[in-house]
Amino acid sequence: MKLTAFLATFALAGSALAGTSTAGAGKAACCPPMPTADELLGFTLSTGYDSAYLFHGTDVGDNLIWQKLEFSKQINDKLSVNIGEWYGHLFDYEYNELDIYGGVRYNAGPVNVTAGFTWYHYFEGSSLDNQYEPFLSISTNNLPVDLYVTYFYDFEVDGTYLEAGVSKTLKLNDKVSLVASANVGYNLGYNTNEDGWNHVGVRVGLPIALTKNATLTPYIAGNFALDATEGYFAEDDLLVGGIALDVKF
């Protein structure tokens, strides 16, 4: 059964976790607005460590190291595309995962609409089957805080997961920002057979601009299991920390 990261959004503006395969991790872009290509080639190479691998509010395991490569391209003033891969390894047991994902974002004025698809591949040693997950997200950054709502459907487990989040970025100086965020998930046969509220997540990150194109982001996050997942894949109160390095080229 599928589980991963994403925690939180009570402040910031997005990039899709992947985000940031998100717990970290920054998995497939899913919720906040997709990044667009910068003045370079449009690629972002990321790597990081998370003390726990959180996916859609569930705890997959401890001590995750991950790597992600994304390409973003602005097609016109309305359309942009994003494709990428995410690879993660857990140290506490034999677990290796590769995600391939892509999406198209349409700027509809006050909101952005993103449609995409993620393929999850699990290597030998995992009991999980490959999974196939389309998603649809609506987001906005035209308010004092950034908001998103995302719908996921997994064909392998025949389940639906819904997530909504809010985030805000505060610029502390020319080099350092503070990103606070929170999210809430709803489970419909996705993580468990019990339907209901999945989790609440909160997160605070501190992006530090090392150079024009490189950013180091330490973070701390909390994950709180609700009725649908409590006692299954997440502790009632789970504290997670990690760090990520992003380089644009």
pTM given for the model: 0.82
In a domain, 5, yes or no: no
Looking at the 3D structure of the chain, how many domains does it have?
Answer: 1
- Comparing 15 with 91, the larger pLDDT belongs to 91
User: 3-state DSSP call for residue 192?
Assistant: coil
pLDDT above 70 as % of the chain: 82
- Comparing 216 with 31, the larger pLDDT belongs to 216
In a domain, 156, yes or no: yes
Q: Which residues contact 109 (CB under 8 A, 6 or more apart)?
A: none
pLDDT above 90 as % of the chain: 73
- Whichever domain contains 215, its CATH number is 2.40.160.40
In a domain, 3, yes or no: no
Name which of 89, 112, 122, 9 is nearest 57 in CA terms: 9
Q: Which of 12-26, 64-78, 124-138 has the lowest mean pLDDT?
A: 12-26
Q: Looking at beta carbons, which pairs linking 222-225 to residues 24 or more positions away fall under 8 Å?
A: 222/7, 223/7, 223/54, 223/57, 223/59, 223/199, 224/199, 224/200, 225/57, 225/198, 225/199
Given a contact cutoff of 8 angstroms between Cβ atoms, the answer to whether 95 and 64 are in contact is no
In a domain, 69, yes or no: yes
Single-letter amino acid, residue 139: S
In a domain, 241, yes or no: yes
- Give per-residue pLDDT as tens, 198-238: 999 999 999 999 999 999 999 999 999 999 988 776 667 89
Q: Which residues contact 3 (CB under 8 A, 6 or more apart)?
A: 55, 56, 58, 59, 60, 191, 233
| Mean predicted lDDT score pLDDT of the chain | 86
pLDDT class of 136 with cuts at 50, 70, 90: very high
pLDDT class of 21 with cuts at 50, 70, 90: very low
In a domain, 1, yes or no: no
Residue entry with tokens 């602005």: 74
Residue 165 burial (C-beta neighbours within 10 Å; 0-12, 13-18, 19+) = buried
Calpha distance 240→4 (Å, rounded): 13
Residue 3 burial (C-beta neighbours within 10 Å; 0-12, 13-18, 19+) = buried
Q: Which domain holds residue 148?
A: 10-248
Given a contact cutoff of 8 angstroms between Cβ atoms, the answer to whether 28 and 15 are in contact is no
Residue entry with tokens 């501190």: 206
Classify residue 78 by its DSSP letter. S
Query: Is the confidence at residue 12, as pLDDT, over 80?
Result: no
In a domain, 4, yes or no: no
In a domain, 205, yes or no: yes
